[in-house]
């Protein structure tokens, strides 16, 4: 495989203000990871898999506080990137006739004098502006620039995976992930792959009307909307960074970690997403 790591200066040159806003407070530098698998012959199709890669999510200045905030779980906030790289390892061994780009805008969401402030306005690499009304909705900021980057590669489809919202766990619990898609064929292909792989996804609506909840008077959008329907507004936010390529978003916040044996997984990280992604790429 080919590996390209974009350091902070390269991300700045590409205008990735949303991703870099999230990374500002950490002592650890952001890394934009782009790993490519190319088959030996002409690829049958070209795909991109994008994983949220927050190595730790403190919440930033909107710090995760109080019982139930799950701050002690937040090493799991790289579960999307982990699934992406896990799929890369398997795909490189299975050698399908498909070109696959594996992408993660990796960073740590922290607090310091250099932190992104609530109320800051960020400009993403597609030129859209974002009013940050909650620094803890950082995953969608990192994914925004990663999705713009993925579409520029000229792929036939993009799938992102992210431990994106607590609201998705409220909706679907810890054994079913949320699936949103702009393309019914892609949604169907993913559901077929998931069924073969033994993972559960439930398709959720991209209800355009709910984008009203993200309206800002100072920017193109806010990064968080009302509490109700929070997993849907998160998906609608991501959609702003896709132009026309078929795209699916998988919210895996509930499924990446388990405290107990549940018939599918042992305690710890579950690797959720890997099996479905590999099956989908091979299909």
Tell me how far, at minimum, the Cβ of 50 lies from ligand 4TK, in Å: 15
The tokens of 274 are what? 């890997």
Closest to ligand 4TK by CB, 17 or 139 = 139
159: β partners: 49, 248
Residue 61 CA, chain-centre distance (Å), reads 21
Closest to ligand 4TK by CB, 75 or 188 = 75
CA distance 232 to 246: 18
Residue 102: name the closest of 40, 176, 47, 180 by CA: 47
Report the residue number whose CB is nearest to ligand 4TK: 166
User: Taking CB under 5 A as the rule, does residue 213 contact Zn ion?
Assistant: no
- Give helix 274-282 / helix 184-197 axis angle, nearest 10°: 120
User: Taking CB under 5 A as the rule, does residue 21 contact Zn ion?
Assistant: no
Cβ pair 178, 234 in contact under 8 A: no
> Site for Zn ion (CB under 5 A): which residue of 53, 79, 86, 139?
139
Residues annotated catalytic, as ranges: 64, 140
The tokens of 120 are what? 């800051």
Tell me how far, at minimum, the Cβ of 73 lies from ligand 4TK, in Å: 6
Q: What are phi and psi for residue 142, nearest 5 degrees?
A: -70, -40
CA distance 120 to 133: 8
Residue given tokens 């949320």 in the structure block = 178
User: Taking CB under 5 A as the rule, does residue 77 contact Zn ion?
Assistant: yes
> Site for Zn ion (CB under 5 A): which residue of 22, 54, 82, 190?
54
Tell me how far, at minimum, the Cβ of 227 lies from ligand 4TK, in Å: 7
Tell me how far, at minimum, the Cβ of 235 lies from ligand 4TK, in Å: 12
User: Taking CB under 5 A as the rule, does residue 108 contact Zn ion?
Assistant: no
Three-class DSSP labels, 205-250:
CCCHHHHHHHCCCCCCEECCCCCCCHHHHHHHHHHCCCCCCCEEEE
Tell me how far, at minimum, the Cβ of 279 lies from ligand 4TK, in Å: 25
Q: Which does 165 bind (CB under 5 to 8 A by kind): Zn ion, ligand 4TK, none?
A: ligand 4TK
User: What are the residues binding ligand 4TK (CB under 6 A)?
Assistant: 57, 70, 134, 136-139, 163-167, 169, 224, 230, 253
Binding segment toward Zn ion, per CB under 5 A, in 42-50, 71-79, 140-148, 218-226: 71-79
Q: Which does 204 bind (CB under 5 to 8 A by kind): Zn ion, ligand 4TK, none?
A: none
CA distance 283 to 281: 6
Q: Which does 134 bind (CB under 5 to 8 A by kind): ligand 4TK, Zn ion, none?
A: ligand 4TK
CA distance 162 to 78: 8
Q: Which residues bind Zn ion (CB under 5 A)?
A: 54, 57, 77, 136, 138-139
């Amino acid at each position: 495989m080919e590996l390209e790591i974009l350091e902070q200066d390269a991300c700045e040159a590409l205008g990735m203000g949303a991703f870099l806003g999230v990374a500002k407070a950490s002592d650890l530098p952001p890394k934009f990871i782009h790993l490519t698998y190319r088959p030996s012959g002409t690829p049958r199709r070209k795909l991109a898999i994008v994983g949220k890669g927050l190595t730790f999510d403190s919440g930033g200045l909107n710090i995760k506080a109080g019982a139930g905030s799950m701050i002690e779980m937040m090493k799991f906030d790289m579960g999307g990137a982990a699934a992406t790289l896990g799929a890369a390892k398997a795909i490189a061994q299975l050698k399908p006739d498909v070109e696959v780009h594996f992408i993660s805008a990796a960073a740590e969401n922290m607090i310091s004098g250099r932190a992104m402030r609530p109320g800051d306005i960020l400009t993403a690499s597609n030129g859209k502006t974002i009013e940050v009304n909650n620094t803890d909705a950082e995953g969608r900021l990192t994914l925004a620039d990663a999705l713009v980057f993925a579409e520029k590669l000229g792929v036939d489809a993009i799938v992102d995976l992210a431990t994106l919202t607590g609201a998705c766990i409220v909706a679907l619990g810890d054994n079913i992930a949320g699936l949103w898609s702009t393309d019914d064929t892609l949604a169907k292909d993913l559901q077929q792959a998931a069924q073969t792989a033994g993972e559960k996804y439930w398709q959720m609506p991209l209800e355009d009307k709910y984008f009203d909840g993200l309206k800002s008077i100072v920017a193109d959008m806010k990064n968080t909307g009302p509490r109700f329907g929070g997993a849907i507004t998160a998906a609608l936010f991501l959609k702003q960074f896709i132009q026309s390529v078929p795209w699916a978003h998988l919210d895996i916040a509930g499924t990446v970690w388990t405290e107990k044996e549940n018939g599918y997984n042992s305690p710890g990280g579950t690797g959720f997403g890997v099996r479905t992604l590999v099956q989908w790429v091979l299909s």
